[in-house]
Structure 1
Amino acid sequence: MSTKSAIRDSIDRAATTVGSVWPLHSFVTANPLSGFEDQPFGEAVEQAAALLGGRGYPSAETFRTALQRGQIDPEILETELAEAGYEDDPAELLGRMADATDAPASETDTATEHVDQVLAKWLSAFLEEGSAHWPMPNRESGFYTAFRAVVEYDSDVPDAGVLEDLPETPIEAIETVLEPYPESQWVPIFEEQLAALPGWTGYIKQRAESGNEWQSAYPISLEGYLAARLALLDAVDADIEPAAGSLDTNGVDELAQAFLRAWEATYRADLVGTVAAESRSMADSDPSGRPDAQLVFCIDTRSEIIRRHIEAAGGYETRGYAGFFGIPMEYQGYDADVSVDSCPPILDAEHHVTDFPTDSDTRTRHDRWTGIREAATDVIESLETNAATAYGFVETTGSGYGLALAARTLVPERVYDLLGATEESVPNKQEFCEPLVHHQHEYAGDLPVGITTEEKVEYAATAFDLMGWEEFGRLVVFVGHASETTNNPYDASLDCGACAGNPGGPNARVLAAICNDPEVKTELREQGFEIPDDTVFLAGQHNTTTDEIELYDGNVPETHADDLEQLRGDLDTAREHAAAERAESMGSDGSASTRETERRAADWAEVRPEWGLAGNAGFVVGSRELTSDLDLDGRSFLHSYDWSTDPDGEALEAIMTGPMIVTQWINAQYYFSTVDNAVYGSGSKVTHNPVGNIGVYQGNGGDLMAGLPLQSLMAADDEPHHQPLRLSTVVHAPVERVTGILASHEELATLLDNDWLSLTVVDPTQDHHAFQYQSDLEWTPVSERPEADQPVPAAPVVADD
C-alpha cells in the first residue's frame, strides 16, 4: 500500500470514533458514541472519556434524586450492588462517587486552543449556508484550497513550519507533518485531532457522506480538514504525539454502572409486567367492532399522550408507525428553495416528491400575502445584520415598533392569536396544492419524480403489514407531526426525527394519496386487505407544542361530512386534556392549559417551548391493546404490531432493524446530552451563538455544539427532567421469532450484546411469559411470573426451521 493510501485508510479508521452531526435546520438525533457501538457500553464510555473528556454515567446527585423519588427500587439496587461487589450503604457509596468525580479539570494546551479558534473561524466562514454577507472566497474549489489561499493573510497564524510553503494537496500536507511519526501512530494521531473539535468534524463527516447541494457546491472532507489542522499545529509547534493510556476512573464507573442497571431494571420491571398482564387479558377479550375512525401517529413518545386522550374522547382506534410513513422521499414544498430528505438517516431517499398547485385563484391569494410577509422578513433580517440601519429604522418607526416588541415580550399569547387570525385569512398551501405522487418518467437530480403504481402498492401494503391491520374504519387518518416554536435554533430537534428533523405532514399526505388511489386499492384487495368502499384516507399534522391536530380534508367526500365533524370536535376535546397534561409537566397549574401551550409557541423568550422526547426510556412493539389502558407518561415509543398476522416474521424484522435502531439513536442522544451536557450536549440556550445556519457556539467561537441544550433536558439547573436510562425495548411476539431475527442481523445482536439497549420479549405462545435477552442469542425468564404456581418455560435460543 502506498503512503497516500495508508494515510487515507488511517483517516477512515479514525473517523469511526466521531459521531455524525447534522445541521440545526434538519437536526437529527444520533448517538454521539456511535463509532464505539461495536464495544461493550462500559468500555466505550471509558474510551470516549479518554478521547473526548466526557462523563459516561449520571452524577451521584442524579442517582440520589432518583432513589429519593422511588425511581430506583431499593431491593433491585441492593442486588445489583452486591453482584458488583459493593456491600456499603447506597448513601455512602453515592458520597464516595461524588468525591471521586469532583477532580480538578486538566489544564488546556494554549497552542492547541489557539489552533481550535483559528480553525473554527475559517470553518464557519466556509460551511455557512447562505446567511453570511461576506462568505469565504474560493469556496467552490473546496475547503483545503480555499484555506490555503487565505491563511497567509491571517495575522493569527505564524508563517512557520509547513505553512511556509503549504503543499497543493491535503495528502501531501498530512504526509509532511507525519514524517517524524511511525505508521502505527497515524490512527491515534488522527483520532485525537478529530476529537479535538468533535462538533465540527462530526458535521464535516456527515456533510461529506450526504453529498447534499451545499457539499456539491462547496466540497469539504476530513482529509482536507486534517491537513489544515496539522499544518496549523505544525506552525505553532504543538505536539501531536498521541497520549498514552486511558482515563483513570478510580472504580467510579463500575459503581455508577450498578446504580444505572438498578434504575433501568426498575423502569423495565413495571413496563414488562404491565405488558405481560395486558397480553393475558387480550387473549380473553372480544373484538370491539368497527371504530368510528382510525388515526395513525408517529411512534414518537409525544404521540402517546395525544393518542390516549383521543381514544378516551370516542370510539377511536390509534396506531403507531414510523413518522415518515414508510415513504423514503426527498420532498420539496411549494415555493421552497431547496428540497429536504424526509426519511430516517439510515435510509436513502428513493423518490422526489414536490407540491404542485391545483387551484390558481387560491394560489394567487396565497402568493400575494406570502410576498408581503417575505418582504417584511427580508427587512428584519437586514436590520439584524446592519446595526446602523437598525437604529435608523427603529428611530423612524418609533412607538409603533416599540409596541410590537412589547407585545412579543409581554403578551405572546395575544400575538399567537393575531398570527393565527392572519394565517386563517391566507390560504394554506394544502388548500391549493397536492403532492405530485404519480410517476412522471423524469428525474430531479438522481431521483425519479413521483412513485410508480407498483411502488405505491408496496408502500401501502408494507404499512398495513407492519401494523397488523385487518379492519378499516370509514375514516383513516395518517397524522404526521411538527413543533411550533419562536426564536429557537433547535426547533428542528422538536420536529419528526423519522423525517430527518422535518415536519411529517408531507409524508402523511403522500401515503393518504397512495391509499386513495383506485388502482392501489384494487391491488391491495387482491392481496387480502379488505378495504371497504366507504373507507376514505386523509392526512393531518399534530402540533406537538399545542397538541392541535390540523386535518388535510380537502378531498373528503360529502358522504363523510358528519364523520369529519364529529372527529374534529373530539380532537378538540382531546387537545384540551393533552395540553393540560403537558402544561402540568412544564410547571403550570393546568388551568388555561391550551393558552399556556400557545404562549410557549409564540413567546420569543421561551427557552423551553415543549419537552420534546425528554423522558424517553421504553419502546413497545405490539398491538395497541397492550398499552391502551395505561398512562405511560409520554416516555414510550409505541409501534403497532400483531404477531398473529406476521407468520414469517418479516414485519417484525423490518421494525427491529429500522425503528428500533432509530429509537436507540434518539435515546442515546438524550442520555449522553444529560449525563455530560458540556461535552455531548450544547449547554444553555441563553448563551448560544448561532453559526451560519448550521449550528451554535457557546460564546464567540470554538467547537460546534453537537447535542441537545440544557433546557431540553433539565427542569432546573440541578434537576434533570430527562431520566438518563438506556432504552428498554419490549416486543410482543414468539421468542424464537425474535431469536431468528437477531441471528440474521449481527449488527443488531451486537448492540444488545454490548448493552446499548435491552430487549424483553413477552411471548403469547408461552402463556404470556416474559424473557430477558442476555447475550449470544440466549434468554433468561423474567423472575416476576404472572402466576407464581406455574413454572416458567425455558426459552429456545434458536429459531425454528
Structure 2
Amino acid sequence: MSTERAIGERIDKAATTVAPVWPIHSFVTANPLSGFEDLPFEEAVAQAADLLGGRGYPSPETFRAALADGRIDRDVLESELADRGREADPERLLDRMDTAVDSEPPDTDAERVDHVLTKWLSAFLDQGRAKWPMPNREAGFYAAFRTVVEHDGDVPDEGVVGDLPETPTDAIAAVLEPYPESQWVPIFEEQLAALPGWTGFIKQRVGDGSAWQATHPITLAGYLAARLSLSAAFGVDIEPSTGLDTTEPDATDELAEAFLSAWEASYRAELVDQVAAESESLAHGGPSGRPDAQLVFCIDTRSEIIRRHVEAEGDYETHGYAGFFGVPMEYQGYDSDVSVAASPPIVEAEHRITEMPAETDTRTSYDRWSRLREAAGEVVETLKANPATAFGFVENAASGYGLALAARTLVPGRVAELFDTVDDAVPDDHEFCEPLVDHQHTYAGDLPVGMTHERKVEYAETAFELMGWETFARLVVFTGHAGETANNPYDSSLDCGACAGNPGGPNARVLASICSDPDVRTALRERGFDIPEDTVFLAAQHNTTTDEIELYDGDAPESHADDLDRLRADLATARERAAAERAESMDADASRAVSETERRTADWAETRPEWGLAGNAGFVVGPRELTSDLDLDGRVFLHSYDYSIDPDGEALEEILTGPMVVTQWINAQYYFSTVDNAVYGSGSKVTHNPVGNVGVYQGNGGDLMTGLPLQSLLAAADRPHHQPLRLSTVVHAPVERVTDALADHEDVIELLDNDWLSLTVVDPTQDHRAFHYEAELAWSPATEQTADVPNAPAVADD
C-alpha cells in the first residue's frame, strides 16, 4: 500500500470520531458524539470524555433537583440502583458523586500551535466577511498555508515547517516518520480532537461540497499537514496519550447512568400511560366529520403548544409532518444570490426551486425598498468593519444616530412596532413571486430546476400517506416555521431544523403549489385520495418567537373568503394564548405576552428571544387524537400517523428512519450542550465573537464553539430549563409492524441497541398495551400489569 493511501485511510478512520459542524448561518442541530454512536451510550461518553474532555452525564445538583421535584420516581430509581448492585440512600450517593474532571496544566507549546492555526483557518474559511482575503485561497488550504507561514513571525523556522513539502501527504509522512503505523490513527484522532469545532466544520464542508468548498478547497489531510508541521516546529510531543479502545466507564458514571435512566423511565412512563389511555378512548370514539380547516405543522416541539390553542378555537384539525414537507430541495429566493439547503442533512437535495416574480407593480415596489435596505446594510457593515469611519459617521450623524441607538436599547418594543409598519408597506416575495415548481428541463449545478409531474404526485402522496389522511377540509394549510430575533449569531438555530436551519415557509409554499396543481389532484384521486373540488391548499409560516401565523392566501378564491376571515381571527386568539403560555416559562408578563414576544424580536440585547426546542424529551408517532387532549408542555415532537391505512408499514418505516433519527440528533445536541456546555455547547452569548460568518469564538480566538449557548438552556446560572434526557419515542401501531419497519435498518437498530434513545410501542391490536424495545428487535412488556396478561408476547418477531 502506498504511503499516500495508508495515510488517507487512517485519516478517514480517525475522522469518524469528529462530529460535523454546520456554519452558524444555517445552524443544524446534531449529536456532538455522532462518531461514537456505534458504541453503547455509557462507553461512548467515557471515550469521548477521554478524547474531548467533556462530561457525559448531568451533574449531581441537576439530579438532586429532579429528585426533589418528583421528576425522578424514587421507586424507579431504587430499581435502577438495585440492578447495579447499589442499595445506598440516593442522597448519599449523590453526595459521593464527584464530577470534577482532573485537568492537566495547559501545554503552552500546543496552545501556540492552536493560536497560529486558528488564525489562518479563520482567514481561509471566511465566507465573505474579511475585507482582506487570505492570498492563494483558490489553490486550497495547504497551498495557501505554505504561502503565508514563512512570513508568520509567530512560527519558529524549524523542522518541517521551515521547508514545507509540496503535498500534505509528504508533510504528514515527514512528521510521522518516528512513529509506527499502529500509532497513526490515535495520533490523528488526538490532533483532530484538539480543535473539534474547526475540524468538524472542515469535515462538514468537505462532505457538503458547497460553492465555498469548490472555490476554496480544504481537506482534513491539508489541515493535519499544517497542524503536524506546526507541532514539530514548536516541539510539541504528538505521541498519543490515550488508548480509546480500553476506556471503561468509572464508578461515578455508573451511578450517573442509574439516575439518568430512572429519570428517563419516570418521564417515559407518564407519557406512555397518557398515550395508552387515549388509545383506548380513541378505539371507542365514532367517526369525526369534516373539519373547517386542517393545518399541517412541523413536528417541532414548539408546534405542540400552538396546535393545542388553534384546535381550542374551532373545528380545526392539526397534523405533524417533518417541516421540509417531504420535498428534498435547495431553495433560492427572489432577491438572493445563492441557494440554501431546505431539507435535513440526512436527505440529499434533488431539486432546485427558485422564486419567479409574477406581479410587475408589486415587484417594482419590492425592488425599490430592497435597494434602500441593501444600501443601509452596506453602510452598517462598513461601520462595523472600519472604526475610523464609524467614529466619523457618529460625529456627523450627531443626535439622530444617538437617538436611534437609544431607541434600540431602551424601547425595543417601539422599534418593533416601527419595523412592523415598514414591513406592512414592503411587499413580501410571496406576494408577487411563485416558486418555480414545474420541471424546466434545465439544471442548476447538478440539480434539475423544478420537478416532473411524477415527482410532484409522489411528494403529495407521501405526505398524505405518512400523515394518514382520508378526509380533506375546505382549507388545508401547510405551515412552515421560522424564528425572529435581532443581533443574534444563533438566529438560524431558531428556524426549522428540518430545513437545515432555514425558514420553512418556502417548503410549505412548494407543497401547497404541488397539491394545487389540477393534474396532481387528478392523479391523487386515481390513487385513492378523495380530494373534494372545494378543497383549497395554502401555505403559511409560524413565527415561533411571537406565535403569529401568517397565511399566504393571495391566490385563495373568493368563495373561501369567509373561511379565511374566521381562520385568521381564530389564529390571532390562539397566538395570544400560546404566547401567554410561553411567556410564563420565560418569567415574563403573561398578560402582555404578545407585546413582550414582539419586544424580544427587536431587542438587540435580548439573549433569549425564545426557548427554541429546549425541554424536548419525547416523540409521539400516531394520530393527533392520541395527544389532542393532552398538555405536553411543548416537550414532545408530534408526527401524524395512522397504522390502519398503512398495512405494509412503508409510511412507518420512513418515519422511523427519517424524522425519528433527526429528532434524536436534536435531542442529543440539547442534552450534551446542557450537561457540559464548556465542551459541547458554546458558553454565554454575552462573550461570543462571530468569525467569518461560519461560527463563533468565546473571546478573541480559539476553537469554533459547536453547540447551543447557555441562554438557550438555562433558566438561571444554577438552574437548567432544559431537562437533559435522552429521547423517548412512543409509536401507536402493532408491535410486529414496528419490528418489520426496523428490521432492514441496522443504523437505526444500532441507535436503539446502544441506548441513544428509547422506543415504546402502544399496540392498539393488543388491548392498547405497551411494549418496550430491549435489544436486537426484542420487546418486553412496559408495565407489570401487561406482564400479567398471558397473551402479551415478550418478543414480537424473531
* TM-score of Structure 1 vs Structure 2, range by shorter chain: over 0.9
**Equivalents in 2 of 1:154, 1:578: separation in Å?**
56
TM-aligned CA deviation for residue 711 of structure 1: 0.5
Partner of 1:491: 491
**Equivalents in 2 of 1:3, 1:133: separation in Å?**
40
- The answer on 1:753 being equivalent to 2:750 is no
Matching residue within 199, 202, 210 for 1:201: 199
- The answer on 1:690 being equivalent to 2:690 is yes
Partner of 2:520: 520
CA contact (8 A) 1:542 1:548 kept: yes
- CA offsets 1:226-264 (integer angstroms, 9 cap, x no match): 000000001011100001346686410000000000000
CA contact (8 A) 1:735 1:795 kept: no
TM-aligned CA deviation for residue 744 of structure 1: 1.2
- CA offsets 1:37-72 (integer angstroms, 9 cap, x no match): 001000000000000000000000010111111111
**Equivalents in 2 of 1:518, 1:649: separation in Å?**
29
Partner of 1:558: 558
- 1:176 partner letter: A
- 1:406 partner letter: A
Partner of 1:297: 297
RMSD of Structure 2 on Structure 1 (CA): 1.1
TM-aligned CA deviation for residue 796 of structure 1: 3.9
- CA offsets 1:332-371 (integer angstroms, 9 cap, x no match): 0011011001000001100000000000111001111111
TM-aligned CA deviation for residue 102 of structure 1: 2.8
**Equivalents in 1 of 2:383, 2:162: separation in Å?**
41
TM-aligned CA deviation for residue 103 of structure 1: 4.7
Alignment of 1:47-126 (within 5 A): 47-97=47-97, 100-126=98-124
Structure 2 residue matching 1:326: 3-state secondary structure:
coil
Alignment of 1:133-148 (within 5 A): 133-148=131-146
Structure 1 residue matching 2:190: 3-state secondary structure:
helix
Report the CA distance shift for 1:506/1:187 in structure 2 as closer, same or farther (over 3 A): same
Structure 2 residue matching 1:253: 3-state secondary structure:
helix
- CA offsets 1:635-663 (integer angstroms, 9 cap, x no match): 00000000000000000000000000000
Alignment of 1:271-310 (within 5 A): 271-310=271-310
Alignment of 1:177-576 (within 5 A): 177-245=175-243, 250-576=250-576
**Equivalents in 2 of 1:136, 1:245: separation in Å?**
38
Alignment of 1:675-686 (within 5 A): 675-686=675-686
TM-aligned CA deviation for residue 789 of structure 1: 7.8
Report the CA distance shift for 1:107/1:569 in structure 2 as closer, same or farther (over 3 A): same
Partner of 2:600: 600
- 2:150 partner letter: E
Q: Which shifted more, 315-324 or 384-393? A: 384-393
- 1:336 partner letter: S
TM-aligned CA deviation for residue 101 of structure 1: 1.9
TM-aligned CA deviation for residue 776 of structure 1: 1.2
- CA offsets 1:648-706 (integer angstroms, 9 cap, x no match): 00000000000000000000000000000000000000000100001000111110110
- 1:793 partner letter: A
Q: Which shifted more, 617-626 or 247-256? A: 247-256
- 2:514 partner letter: I
**Equivalents in 2 of 1:117, 1:286: separation in Å?**
68
Report the CA distance shift for 1:135/1:282 in structure 2 as closer, same or farther (over 3 A): same
Q: Which shifted more, 245-254 or 362-371? A: 245-254
- 2:299 partner letter: I
TM-aligned CA deviation for residue 13 of structure 1: 0.2
Structure 2 residue matching 1:704: 3-state secondary structure:
coil
- 1:794 partner letter: P
**Equivalents in 1 of 2:695, 2:453: separation in Å?**
40
CA contact (8 A) 1:760 1:771 kept: yes
CA contact (8 A) 2:760 2:770 kept: yes
Normalising to structure 2: TM-score of the pair? 0.99
- CA offsets 1:5-61 (integer angstroms, 9 cap, x no match): 110000000000000000000000000100110010000000000000000000000
- CA offsets 1:496-540 (integer angstroms, 9 cap, x no match): 000000000000000000000000000000000000000000000
**Equivalents in 2 of 1:202, 1:558: separation in Å?**
52
Partner of 2:793: 794
- 1:109 partner letter: D
Q: Which shifted more, 242-251 or 454-463? A: 242-251
- 1:110 partner letter: T
Alignment of 1:630-709 (within 5 A): 630-709=630-709
**Equivalents in 2 of 1:251, 1:306: separation in Å?**
44
CA contact (8 A) 2:126 2:692 kept: yes
Structure 1 residue matching 2:619: 3-state secondary structure:
strand
- 1:23 partner letter: P
**Equivalents in 2 of 1:483, 1:523: separation in Å?**
36
**Equivalents in 1 of 2:790, 2:561: separation in Å?**
55
Structure 2 residue matching 1:591: 3-state secondary structure:
helix
Normalising to structure 1: TM-score of the pair? 0.98
CA contact (8 A) 1:673 1:680 kept: yes
Partner of 1:768: 768
**Equivalents in 2 of 1:796, 1:778: separation in Å?**
5
**Equivalents in 1 of 2:789, 2:168: separation in Å?**
69
TM-aligned CA deviation for residue 288 of structure 1: 2.0
Structure 1 residue matching 2:797: 3-state secondary structure:
coil
**Equivalents in 2 of 1:240, 1:248: separation in Å?**
23
- The gaps in structure 2 that reach 5 residues or longer are none
**Equivalents in 1 of 2:744, 2:197: separation in Å?**
34
TM-aligned CA deviation for residue 798 of structure 1: 1.7
CA contact (8 A) 2:641 2:652 kept: yes
- The gaps in structure 1 that reach 5 residues or longer are none
CA contact (8 A) 1:351 1:451 kept: yes
- 1:243 partner letter: S
CA contact (8 A) 1:736 1:796 kept: no
Report the CA distance shift for 1:487/1:291 in structure 2 as closer, same or farther (over 3 A): same
CA contact (8 A) 1:781 1:792 kept: no
TM-aligned CA deviation for residue 428 of structure 1: 1.3
Report the CA distance shift for 1:636/1:784 in structure 2 as closer, same or farther (over 3 A): farther
**Equivalents in 1 of 2:691, 2:258: separation in Å?**
40
TM-aligned CA deviation for residue 785 of structure 1: 3.6
- CA offsets 1:182-220 (integer angstroms, 9 cap, x no match): 111000000000000000000000000000000000000
Q: Which shifted more, 645-654 or 735-744? A: 735-744
**Equivalents in 2 of 1:432, 1:360: separation in Å?**
8
CA contact (8 A) 1:785 1:792 kept: no
**Equivalents in 2 of 1:245, 1:61: separation in Å?**
31
- 2:655 partner letter: I
Q: Which shifted more, 626-635 or 738-747? A: 738-747
Q: Which shifted more, 600-609 or 80-89? A: 80-89
**Equivalents in 2 of 1:111, 1:86: separation in Å?**
45
**Equivalents in 2 of 1:254, 1:458: separation in Å?**
48
- CA offsets 1:458-510 (integer angstroms, 9 cap, x no match): 00000000000000000000000000000000000110000000000000000
Structure 2 residue matching 1:595: 3-state secondary structure:
helix
How many residues align structurally? 796
CA contact (8 A) 1:13 1:187 kept: yes
CA contact (8 A) 1:769 1:792 kept: no
- 1:147 partner letter: F
CA contact (8 A) 1:485 1:602 kept: yes
CA contact (8 A) 1:57 1:253 kept: yes
Partner of 2:174: 176
**Equivalents in 2 of 1:93, 1:795: separation in Å?**
34
TM-aligned CA deviation for residue 420 of structure 1: 0.3
Structure 2 residue matching 1:352: 3-state secondary structure:
strand
